[in-house]
Amino acid sequence: MKKKLLLTGASGFLGYHILRVFARDWEIYGIGNAKTFDFAGATAIKCDITNYIELGNFMDDIEPDAVIHTAAIADANFCQQNPDLSYSVNVDASKNLAGICCDFQIPFVFTSTDLVFDGKKGMYQEEDEKSPVSVYGEQKAKAEDEILKIYPESTVFRLPIMFGYPQASTGNYLHNFLNQVNNRQVANLFNDEYRSVCGAKSISEGILQLLGKSSGVVHLAGKERLSRYDFGMKAVAAFGLDPAFVKESSQKEMKSAAPRPADVSLNINKAINLGFLPLSVHEELEQIVNGKYF
C-alpha cells in the first residue's frame, strides 16, 4: 500500500511538479485554495490553510505519513505591500502545520527561499547568517526559525528561482518569458542578479529523495550560478527562439516594491553529499523542449 502525502500548494507552480514526481510512490492529497488542480494520481482538497480547524480536520481524516508544505504567498512585491496578510500564510500557518506534524511525529518539509540572504556575498552555505532585505524574505526566515523551534526534525529546503513545465501555472517565469520572446517583444533581463537557477523537476526529485533523511536546513538548488540574462539566453537557445529579443538590463535601474538582493546563489554541497543530483539547466530545458519531461 502506498504511503499518504499531504501536499499544500498543490495548485501552485512547484506543487504541479511535486505531484507528478511523487505520484509514482505516494497516495497524494493536495491542497489548493483559490485555484484547484486536476491530476489523476491525487485527491484535490480546497482549504484555506489559515483556517486551522478545517486544516486540522483534514489532517485527522487523512492521517498522512508526511507533509510537504509549499503553500505560500510567494510574490515578494505583494508581501511587501501586504505584510499582515502574507504573514498569516507564510509564518503563522507554517508554524501551525509544523506543530500538527510534531503531534503526528511525521516528516514535515517546509519550502523556503534563497531570499533569506541579503545577496552581498553569494554562494551561501546553510549556516551563513540570514539577512533578508524584503518582507517576503523576513517572513520565510522567521518561519524557518519558528518551525525548527517547534519541530526540530522538520526539513527546511531553501530553494532558488525555478523554471519548469511551461503550462504549470500562469505565474511561471519561463512561460511568461518565452511568450514574450515568441511574440517578438523585447525581454529585458538582469545581468547583475545571480541565483542558483534549477528546474522544478530536479527540485521535486530532490525532495522525494531526501524526504525523511535529513532534518534542519538544506540548500536544494542548481549547480550553476546564473544571472537572469544567462538563464534567458539558455532558454532561448533551447527553444530555438531569436536571441535578438533578449536584452541585458540592470536590476539597479528597476524600481520594485520589494528590494532585490544581487547574488543569492547557494552552496549545495550538503544536498549533494546526501545524494541530490540536479540536472543542469541545459539538460532540464532540453527535456522540456523534447517532450520528455514527465
Please pick, from the candidates 27, 39, 41, 50, the single residue that binds ligand NAP as defined by CB under 6 A. 50
Contact predicate 219/278, CB 8 Å: no
> Contact between 49 and ligand NAP (CB under 6 A)?
yes
Nearer to ligand NAP, 208 or 243 (CB): 208
Measured at CB, which residue is nearest to ligand NAP?
12
C-alpha cell at 267: 552552496
Please pick, from the candidates 5, 6, 7, 13, the single residue that binds ligand NAP as defined by CB under 6 A. 13
Nearer to ligand NAP, 106 or 200 (CB): 200
User: Binding segment for ligand NAP among 27-35, 60-68, 117-125, 257-265 (CB under 6 A)?
Assistant: 27-35
Long-range contacts of 100-107 (CB under 8 A, 24+ apart): 100/55, 100/56, 100/59, 100/67, 101/67, 101/151, 101/154, 102/150, 102/151, 102/153, 104/59, 104/63, 104/64, 106/64, 106/65, 106/66, 106/67, 107/65, 107/66, 107/67, 107/153, 107/155, 107/211, 107/212
Nearer to ligand NAP, 19 or 241 (CB): 19
Nearer to ligand NAP, 85 or 244 (CB): 85
Which phi and psi angles does 192 have, rounded to 5°? -130, 25
Residue partners of 109: CB distance under 8 A and separation at least 6? 66, 67, 68, 69, 154, 155, 157, 207, 211
Nearer to ligand NAP, 159 or 288 (CB): 159
Please pick, from the candidates 2, 3, 35, 149, the single residue that binds ligand NAP as defined by CB under 6 A. 35
Q: For residues 66-125, which are near ligand NAP according to CB under 6 A?
A: 70-74, 89, 111, 113
CB 14, min distance to ligand NAP, A? 4
CB 206, min distance to ligand NAP, A? 13
Nearer to ligand NAP, 31 or 218 (CB): 31
CA–CA dist 212, 194 (Å, integer): 30
Contact mark string toward ligand NAP, 150..169, x via CB under 6 A: ---------x-xx------x
Nearer to ligand NAP, 86 or 287 (CB): 86
The residues of the shown chain that bind ligand NAP, judged by CB under 6 A, are: 8-9, 11-15, 31-35, 48-50, 70-74, 89, 111, 113, 159, 161-162, 169, 171
